[in-house]
Structure 1
């Protein structure tokens, strides 16, 4: 297994978007490109120029003015007159690349794939964002439902031994739309290979629509058995240990293997506000290794030292929904649920290694205890 080393702060703060889109944003085709300055944005040890335009719109007339001034039309008896407003200051806006939502169930599998030297054939869906840094774990994407066919063609051209270095990823909605015929073809051809079905019970990239018939674990097992898949498993999307062990077993297998990565789309969760089960970072246990930043969760907020360009501290914002993926990535067990953060550092060190993400998830799976947890889990700010 080939692990990737954590890069410097510029790669962590300005990824593909700032490197590729900044040039088009600064193009001369923009109407204000010739008048507005090029403001360098400091991201650690490198400067990425971005054209920051001082454009303001009047609330009354919605007249767009440039070079820091805005005009508003004010009617009077004598006619219409223009009034100039103060120039707006330059804001140094750092471009943010697109990414998964906080608590997204796709984040766990791409965090796992990003640490491996695999060629991943993707499909159409939110998981296409896995191609961006820091994951960089999706390398081909053609059209809806094409991932399984591309995998078969790749294995036919490169030989069966390539099945240990290439996998296919497809979402549940795309699988039911146009992925089942390709899977039946792979079963009939008896090709070796690993297919990941990312099941979040919905289509989130178009505003979140529920899948026609969301499948539970038993339903997936009966469906894959009926399709003739020789080897399959349904795993938790946010359990890193289970994802890695199952993926290792399927890559070493000589048969067609299908792994259903089952989770919930955060767009369909009834509670999106901050809860008592969101996580926090114990500063006395954190060593600023930056491993949690590889999860690429928007709720994890790093702070960089401007002089040394090194990671100074890490915090978790209220955007956290308590998925627990970041706690699994921390080698020092410095990320724990907020309700379990005690003032005593000795007690905190004792309970920190407990896999709280599994404990909370299993307790919530019991209906009577779930009601008690829901009553306890009140939104706090």
Structure 2
């Protein structure tokens, strides 16, 4: 049987009654759009993070886009971010009418190289958008200092970091606005699309609520500013409400899988060998994905195919190299670490319900392949 890089079915079977009851609760409520389930989830997700406001939206991409718009980003502005990320991060910048400007990532943990940000700031820069990649946070202190010193907005992309901490603070609590995705693969995943934005700022919260609802505030018929139809679905909100109390348990399950990988593969690291994930100083990793690195990645993956194990590459094409962003004019070679990583990284199966015997199969197969390449 194939071992998938991600799978939800075992978790669903364990939580099935709660998930089905969530659906029934919404269907019996008499309100299918922006009802009690969305309102309750927003409050509970905000409380989990210790912030004032949470606004549920329809997906993670729009969470980033609306967060940027809510803090004042628009046409003509630049937003500094990274190219080693899922394309939706950058699509959201484009969707807000702004231009992405890239800095490279760090060799050791693949996170934004904050030392390059100051030189990237121009008179058009409006916001900094760090990505909390693979389950751990970018270094926020220098970014906050730069944002305050230059009058910039700071927005966190937390799509891959539910429950992560950075020097004791949760991802999503260190900025003007923080965007989350609840796509099914996420640490806290829905059974479909969903997203949310956290903020402590009352004005940003008001902007977000208008932006997700056509630009309307209190009545369906009056558009105050042009907005979107970007509401979190009631069913997904109720499912997320049921799953939220289990988020820390999901995180612990992922950490247990990560520890077993480290124990089973740690002796294969070193010059020319496998590189395991490194946790940056001050971070508490939640292992959204377990990304390893090998200089002969493509050969390793090709040889692993016969073992019936599904792998993934996050991400094989840096955003700045995609044809859809050719208009940005970012030349190959300008982000050397990002481009080098794209040819060496790959993800091992990672989810809390991954069985120990399945993980043993992954480790054994990888050990066999790595000793022969």
Q: Shorter-normalised TM-score: what interval? A: under 0.3
The structure whose residues are more often strand, as a share, is 1
Q: TM-score, normalised by structure 1?
A: 0.27
Structure with more contact order per residue of length (Cα contacts < 8 Å, sep ≥ 6): 2
The structure whose residues are more often helix, as a share, is 2
